[in-house]
Structures are given as C-alpha cells and as structure tokens.
Structure 1
Amino acid sequence: MLIRKPDAIQSSEITPERVWRARRDLILGAGVAAAGLGLPGWAGRAWAANAPVGEPAVLPGQASPLSVMDKQTSLSDITSYNNYYEFGLDKSDPAAHAGKLQTRPWTVSVEGEVGKPRTFDIEELLKLAPMEERVYRLRCVEGWSMVIPWVGYSLSALLKQVEPTANAKYVEFVTVVQRDNMPGVRAGVLDWPYVEGLRIDEAMHPLAMLVFGLYGKVLPNQNGAPLRLAVPWKYGFKSAKSLVKIRLVEKQPVSSWIKAAPQEYGFYANVNPAVPHPRWSQASERRIGEDGLFSPKRKTLPFNGYADQVAALYQGMDLKANY
C-alpha cells in the first residue's frame, strides 16, 4: 500500500477548518494551486530558487550533552518544509517568501514581572552565553517530525539577566509582524502577532532553548531568524519564531492557537501519544526525509522522548485534561 507523505494528505485532514479554508482562498486568489502538491524534495528546489545571495554566516557551537543520537534531518528538508504561516500556509511557502524578512536591525524587549527590564540588541544576545549545538527532536501536531541540530543556548540564561520577580508565573513570547514582507499575515488565519507561552519553570528548564542557528550556520529566515524558541518536549507550534518581545507575567497567556481553536490546541501541548487531536491520532508520526516515500510510521514517544528530563514538571497533573 502506498504510504502518503504528510504534504500529500488532504489539508482538511490535518489542519483546522479555519486554516484550510483560508489556505484555499489564498491559493485560488494567487493562482498557485499547484504549489500545495509539492513533496519536501521539490520544495527544496523552491528554496534554492528563492535563496538570498551568499552563504549564511557560520555560527558554531560546542557539542552539547543534551543532544539526542537520532539521525539528523537533512538541511534541505529542514529549510524547505516548514510551518511559518506569516509567509503562507503551505509547507513550501516560507522558503519561497521569507527572503524578504528584515532581520537587521533587531531588538528583543524582556519586560513585565522582572527586576531589570531591558531591551537587547541581537548582537548582544549572540554573545550573552556560550553557543551550543543541540540535536533536538521536533514533533509537529500534524504528525510529522524532524531531528534538527540547533545552535544556541538555554533560555534561562536570558531570563536570569532580567531577574524575574516572585509574581512571574508564566513567560509570554511575541513574534514579529512585518506586513510588507509577510504575505501570510493578510490571510487572517490568526490574530497577529503570533503569541505563545510557557510556565516559568518550563521556560527555565535547561532544554528550553533560544536558537540562533542550525547546522553550524545562522538561522535561515524560514526557520525563524534571527532567533526563535526550541522546546523539544512540546509540539512544534510552541516553539515561536522571530521573537521581538518576551514578557514575564502572573497570569497564563492566551496563545494564538488557543485563541483561534481552543478545542484543538491546549496551553501545555506536551507531546502525548495517548491524547489524540480531535480529528486525528497522535500515536504515530512520520519523520521527514527518512527512507523515502515508503518509510513506515514510528511510534510517538511521550514528551517526544524527553520524559526522563521533564516529566517531573507535571507531577500530579492530568495531562489529558491539561493537554
């Protein structure tokens, strides 16, 4: 039996109705309906055709003991098969359109329930802590996964700089909106800017990472340049891209997907094979680029395989209710 790649599945099977309807309208309006049919390899050629001139700057990091030993996903797949709805709703859209993203100058404000609120220039952030290369699993809610060698350091290194107060219970992340450079924000799929959040102890966990690069080079635009989150035990939508504001707050933030579809996207979003999405199972996944078109699905691991490190954060919680 032919096993379909994730992007060969009908969008209505894998995407909230609000999104796939907007996707259909956007594609029809643009006259590019065929774009949604490309497999990851074809999308890689789309990225090559739209890549900015010149090679990305080198950004090395020391090998980290926090890395997993899984086979890494190829750079071409990582940079051509993306969810970044600000640039479009198909997996190939970010690679095709993100070249217009302006990443300099860039600042990130860290504010709220902190003793020392501060705005950081991106160059300051690049020097704030030693860079590490951490090979992390990425599991997306649609059922596909990757293994990515991120370059960056623990988010806690930044948060400690601003001295969180006792009232800082959560951390809210706000991403950039560049309306002239991001065609997807005109689709009205979400209420922009994109907002995500973590509990403070999740944000301070060593695995929660500020990412500035991958495969030893500066982060490509379609992957969330110039800096993003990587929270490897949660579904991919929690790892917000192109950050411009971090707010420490007392009350749980209302994230973009909770606001758009609260019945489908929970605040915690821990990878959990025992809790299905309302319209599809989370018990298995397909790793992008693994053994071609006929690759079998693999079992999804609780907490994406990071249970030994993070399960204690949720001791006593009902992870079906707190999905």
Structure 2
Amino acid sequence: MLIRKAPIAGLTENDVTPKRLYMNRRKIMAAGGAVALTAACSGPQPDAEAQSAARAGAGEPLSFRETAYTVSDGELTPYDAVTGYNNFYEFGVGKSDPARFADAMTTDPWSVEISGHAERTGVFGLEDIIDFNALEERIYRLRCVEAWSMVIPWIGVPLSTILEQFRPTSDARYVAFETYLNRDEMRGVRFPVLDWPYREGLRMDEAMHPLTIMAVGLYGEVLPNQNGAPMRLVVPWKYGFKSIKSISRIRFVAEEPETSWKQSAPREYGFYSNVNPNRSHPRWSQSSERVIGAGPFTRRDTEMFNGYDEVAPLYAGMDLNEDY
C-alpha cells in the first residue's frame, strides 16, 4: 500500500526529509540564489539533495496545503531527474527533448474547451477551472510503461472538484482529454509518431476517484513546460501515459473515447492501462521497474495498481489481463 492517510505529524523523518529540504527553498535562495545542477540520474548524495532543493526554488512558488498523501517507500526523485527525463512526444521522442524544446510552448494565457454531456460548457480560462486557493501537495509514484518510476511531490486539486463545476449529466460515462496542439511551437508534431493531438480518457468513476488529481505544480513550484504546464492529469495507479499533459480540451462522453496509444498500438496499450506486474508488455516485463534518480541498477518490484490498493473496487469482476 502506497497511500497513507495518517496525520502529517505521524510521518517518520525518513518520509519527510527530502521534503524538508525543498521546503527550505526560499531560505536557500535568500542566502545565495538557486544552485545550478548538472544532469542527475544517479543516486543523490546529501549535497545533491540540497542542490535539488535550491533548483526547485528557481520557479514561481505556489501556496498549497500539505496532506498525508505520500509513498511508504523510496525517497523523492531529484528535481533535475523529474524535469529532465520526460516523455512528451510533441517535443521529440528522446527523454531529454522536452526539457530542451518545451520552452517554445505558450502557456499564458491558457484556455480549456469544455463540451459534451454537461450542463455548463464553453471555453474557460485556467483560473476559472482551477481553484488556486485550494491547492494541496500529494506525493505520488509515477510508473511508466517503459518500466521506470519516479516519486514526485505534485501540487494540484482533485479532478472531481473540477468536473463537478460543469455538472455532467447521467449520459457522461467517460471523460475525454486532449493535449494542446501548436505545430509552430511543438517540433515533435511535424512527425507522424502519433495521430495528433494527443488524446486520453478515463471512465467517470476513475475520474472522480479521490486519488485522481489535476496538477499545476511539482516540488512546490509551477509545472515546467516539459512536465505538462499549465495543467495535467496525475492518475497514480495507471501507467504514466494516462496522465495526459497540457490539457486544452475536456469532453464528457457516453462511449469509451479513442485514446492515442491504444489507437497506435492496441496490442501494447489498452484503455485502462492499470499498473499490473502480471501482464507483460509484448516487448518487456512489467514485473519490476528502474528507479529514476537512484542509480542505474536500482530496481523495485512493481505492485498491482502501483500499490494504490484502494482503487481495486473500481475493477471488481473485470479480467485485468484482458481489460488492460
């Protein structure tokens, strides 16, 4: 089990030490400014953790409420690994391409089109969708289908609080999402890697589950472009490609929506995409994962639903090897 619901004061020092470092970011900056980091995908030493804290302070800070959502094992992935090792094919297929090229994406102002089976639809600004006075921190593990994982302190709000604003009708059985698309700003979409724009979706009960959040920040700061600015899903019990980035459209639909990776390679990527160590990808095992930022040989066993056992009732009676 990865999620703890205990009071924050009940966490151990081992749980919160990395957070203590990054929460000192303003003091670090006042003392001497942010420290530039070299690329970090190796195991962090204490000095490297302090440098990661300083680097996190270089962005725009967010005010948020601390919660007891945290993982029970593993330290936070260093900031430079979180922001420098990404999948965001709109900027290239290399893991470093998003960090190199995503600055070209315009994220302010930002609008989102809401449509489908809801009483309230239209085009809304970011501040009309996200209550920035209700942000909270949740430390979740992001598990990628390529068999690697990160532990990230996300800042956001429950997705349910966003969807409820638009009063979906009883016909809304699924929620479909689309990523922003601008061929002038996104060099990767010049190539037919996928059928652009990127599309994802959730069943309504998955979207409304308390663990599902819309993130606008990480490490106490606004999301960098390469991590999905200004708003992205985080669905911690599913493989990372379900947590769609830079969302510009949300639709309430009656039928299971078409999703990009399922359309591209249905044998490899199903609609549900729940983390399942018992169902191998056709080209590799999903039984273990490489821990990014903890050294090239550090691995951990993959847990069903990424360890978030409380979502299991959503799939009662389903064959999760068939409904993958």
TM range (shorter): 0.7 to 0.9
SS at match of 1:56: coil
1:294 and 2:297 correspond = yes
Instruction: State the match for 1:17 in structure 2.
Output: none
Instruction: State the match for 1:260 in structure 2.
Output: 264
1:198 positional shift: 0.3
SS at match of 1:63: coil
Instruction: State the match for 1:55 in structure 2.
Output: 58
In the alignment, the residues of structure 2 paired with residue 129 and residue 167 of structure 1 have an alpha-carbon distance, to the nearest angstrom, of 31
In the alignment, the residues of structure 2 paired with residue 129 and residue 155 of structure 1 have an alpha-carbon distance, to the nearest angstrom, of 15
1:284 and 2:288 correspond = yes
Opposite residue 310 of structure 1, the aligned amino acid is V
1:129 positional shift: 5.9
1:116 positional shift: 1.4
Q: Which deviations, in whole Å up to 9, do the C-alpha atoms of 1:135-186 show, x marking residues without a partner?
A: 0000000000000000001000010001110100100001101111111001
Q: TM-score, with normalisation over the residues of structure 1?
A: 0.81
- Does the 8 Å contact 2:63/2:133 carry over to 1? no
Percent identity over the alignment is 55
Q: Which deviations, in whole Å up to 9, do the C-alpha atoms of 1:58-112 show, x marking residues without a partner?
A: 1132112233244111111000000000000010000000011100111112220
1:235 and 2:239 correspond = yes
Q: Which runs of 4+ in 1 moved over 6 A?
A: none
In the alignment, the residues of structure 1 paired with residue 131 and residue 268 of structure 2 have an alpha-carbon distance, to the nearest angstrom, of 38
Opposite residue 86 of structure 1, the aligned amino acid is E
Instruction: State the match for 1:8 in structure 2.
Output: none
Opposite residue 62 of structure 2, the aligned amino acid is L
Instruction: State the match for 1:79 in structure 2.
Output: 83
Q: Which deviations, in whole Å up to 9, do the C-alpha atoms of 1:199-237 show, x marking residues without a partner?
A: 000000011110000000000000000000000000000
Matches within 5 A, 1:70-149: 70=73, 71-127=75-131, 130-149=134-153
- Does the 8 Å contact 1:129/1:153 carry over to 2? no
In the alignment, the residues of structure 2 paired with residue 41 and residue 299 of structure 1 have an alpha-carbon distance, to the nearest angstrom, of 19
1:272 and 2:284 correspond = no
In the alignment, the residues of structure 1 paired with residue 288 and residue 126 of structure 2 have an alpha-carbon distance, to the nearest angstrom, of 38
Which residue of 202, 212, 216 maps to 1:212?
Answer: 216
- CA separation of 1:261/1:146 partners in 2, compared to 1, >3 Å: closer, same or farther? same
Instruction: State the match for 1:12 in structure 2.
Output: none
SS at match of 2:215: strand
Opposite residue 286 of structure 1, the aligned amino acid is R
Unaligned runs of 5+ in 2: 1-38, 43-56
1:64 and 2:81 correspond = no
In the alignment, the residues of structure 2 paired with residue 195 and residue 138 of structure 1 have an alpha-carbon distance, to the nearest angstrom, of 19
SS at match of 2:127: helix
SS at match of 1:293: coil
Q: Which deviations, in whole Å up to 9, do the C-alpha atoms of 1:28-85 show, x marking residues without a partner?
A: xxxxxxxxxxx8549xxxxxxxxxxx93211132112233244111111000000000
Instruction: State the match for 1:306 in structure 2.
Output: 308
Opposite residue 145 of structure 2, the aligned amino acid is V
Give the superposed CA RMSD.
1.7
- CA separation of 1:40/1:186 partners in 2, compared to 1, >3 Å: closer, same or farther? farther
Structure 1 stretch displaced more, 250-259 or 111-120? 111-120
Instruction: State the match for 1:158 in structure 2.
Output: 162
SS at match of 1:232: coil
Equivalent pairs counted in the alignment come to: 272
Matches within 5 A, 1:2-41: 41=41
- CA separation of 1:254/1:230 partners in 2, compared to 1, >3 Å: closer, same or farther? same
- Does the 8 Å contact 2:289/2:302 carry over to 1? yes
Instruction: State the match for 2:249 in structure 1.
Output: 245
SS at match of 1:159: helix
Q: Which deviations, in whole Å up to 9, do the C-alpha atoms of 1:249-299 show, x marking residues without a partner?
A: 000001000111111100000000000001111000011011x2332x210
1:318 and 2:319 correspond = yes
